[in-house]
A and B are shown apart, each in its own frame.
Chain A
Amino acid sequence: MLRPYIPILFLGILGAALAVVSVLGGGFIGPKRYNRAKLDAYECGIEPTEQAVSAARFPVKFYLTAMLFIVFDIEIIFLYPWAVAFGRLGLFGLVEMVAFLATVFVAYAYVWRRGGLDWN
């Protein structure tokens, strides 16, 4: 049952080999000329922001987008097997899926109304 995945594994090994050799090999081939400014974070020449990551705060919108993505991605995961089996389900499958989509659509309309989809 897992046999069709063997070629994928081979391709993955080949891709990983290329990536690992490139990432590690780049350090050996290229020149090394130490310079403190070179190792600083690049911010167009000004003094870099202290602790860009650990103190970083970014808009909560990104979290909201991720949450919305999960809702819709799960919806899509339900849609795929339904679409494949649609020929056998017939009208029953259609009615069931319309009911499901309507439920998700209520949440979608709510998010839209509350401005969750606006980006300012």
Chain B
Amino acid sequence: MTQAVLAEPAPLPLPDFGSEPWWLIIIKVLFVFVFLLVLTLLTIWGERRVVARMQQRLGPNRTGPFGVLQGLADGLKLAFKEDIIPAMADRPVYLLAPIVSTIPAFLAFSVIPFGPTVSIFGHRTALQLTDLPVGVLFILAMSSLGVYGIVLAGWASGSTYPLLGSLRSAAQMISYEVSMGLALVAVFLYAGSLSTSQIVDAQRSRWFIIAVPISFVIYGISCVGETNRAPFDLPEAESELVGGFHTEYSSLKFAMFFLAEYINMITVSAVATTLFLGGWRAPWPLSLFSWANAGWLPMLWFVAKLCIFLFIFIWLRGTMPRLRYDQFMHLGWKVLVPGALVWLLLVATARALSFRDFLLYAGVPAAVVLLAWAFWPTGGRQDRPPPPVERGTPPRYPVPQLDAEPLRRSAGKEVTRA
């Protein structure tokens, strides 16, 4: 009987969030708020240090031990900078945009589970601010609302570069939201729920990164595009668009956009952890011991996994060159979307026919092959063959060619030197 095979172990009922004592709710709200702010400051510092190391520099190391207070110092500096509102700006919308951008960034994090049930001042409660039957949908909704802040900021600035930057940003975010949403469907097929705590619960025996590896890869790529981070940071392409949508913003208004961007990065990392890496569950060898998944310890696993994701974000920025806009759209609409759809159909078919292990044995090698193809040096699309090298009279000693004649002949073409 298919029904019996498909039946999962009954998911835990949702804890009764919101009916807890008010002091407990306030403690949790303050904790999430401070956690996000502190982690943002640490991420800014960590990013600058790690990227500096990758570029053989030292990075900020003056403010506090190892320069760890650099983010705070930057924030304070921004607060004491002049607050400029351009004459062409649409004032109310211009002031509203950073607020619209910041609030959803905070809200999206509210349904992320930090750990199992613990006792706080004698009160049993789950280490989670709140949970909804539509938890993941809520996160996606909030991250979509963030687009409004960006579009309004670009439009209200009354300037060309921000307008173009915000249009690009919006197009990019909605394009990658499609593949992001499609990648998550496979997780819900396995978990049978949209609530974050129930999805973590469904990963008791096997993390979803093993069950649906291709979804994880697609989600990972799309969330880099969704957060406008390198190598997909086209809205902020400094060489062509100055600063993108926040070119005209200064002082603390700029700081709000910066904060929202980093919180969004933390949120997508937390979602990836929750949906694919077992959330707060201990990694494999440790998960055999029951103490590793009880009490306050799981918070450590959660934060560790979160930091791994944040490091990957920084690593990508230090490694990859920025894509061209058409390459970027090509990847989103012609590779990720059909890929996610086909993979979803495969997962659904395997599930309906209760043919689970097929996915395990076929999916993991497929994901490895996919990643290898993506990172293979010549695997990318070659738009045009390199133009033939034009040689003038060869100089007797190696100098850069200074005569203008060969350059003029090849005007319009790329001049390559061997």
Contacts and interface: CB of A to CB of B under 8 A. Distances in A.
Interface in A29-64: 29-33, 38-44, 48-49, 52-53, 56, 58, 61-62
A106 interface: no
6 contacts: A18-B102, A23-B253, A30-B251, A43-B161, A53-B90, A87-B7
Which of A44, A61, A62, A79 has most chain B Cβ within 10 Å? A79
Interface of A: 2-8, 10-12, 14-16, 18-20, 22-27, 29-33, 38-44, 48-49, 52-53, 56, 58, 61-62, 65-66, 68-69, 72-73, 76, 79-80, 83-84, 86-88, 90-91, 93-94, 97-98, 101, 105, 108, 112, 117-120
B236 interface: no
B247 A23 contact: no
B159 A79 contact: no
Contacts of B192: 84, 86-87
Given A65-B171, A119-B326, A7 B28 contact: yes
Contacts of A12: 103, 106-107
B256 A19 contact: yes
A88 B17 CA distance: 27
Interface residues of B, number: 91
A41 B86 CA distance: 6
Given A30-B79, A76-B182, A4 B17 contact: yes
A40 B178 contact: no
Given A10-B29, A65-B171, A90-B6, A19 B98 contact: yes
Which 10 residue pairs across A and B have the least CB separation, nearest first? A3-B18, A15-B106, A41-B159, A26-B252, A83-B188, A76-B181, A26-B251, A119-B326, A19-B102, A22-B252
Interface in B83-117: 83-88, 90, 95, 98-99, 102-103, 105-107, 109-111
B253 A26 contact: yes
Which of A8, A79, A88, A91 has most chain B Cβ within 10 Å? A8
Contacts of A97: 348
B201 interface: no
Interface of A is mostly: helix
Given A42-B248, A72-B337, A119-B326, A33 B82 contact: yes
Interface in B55-87: 79-87
Contacts of A105: 341
Which of A19, A40, A49, A58 has most chain B Cβ within 10 Å? A19
A87 B6 contact: yes
A27 B325 CA distance: 36
A120 B326 contact: yes
A97 to B, nearest CB: 7
A40 B253 contact: no
Contact of B18 (A5, A58, A118): A5
A65 B79 contact: no
Contacts of B88: 40-41, 48, 52-53
Contacts of B105: 15
B343 to A, nearest CB: 12
Interface stretch (B124-132, B286-294, B303-311): B124-132
B119 interface: no
Contacts of A73: 174, 177-178, 181
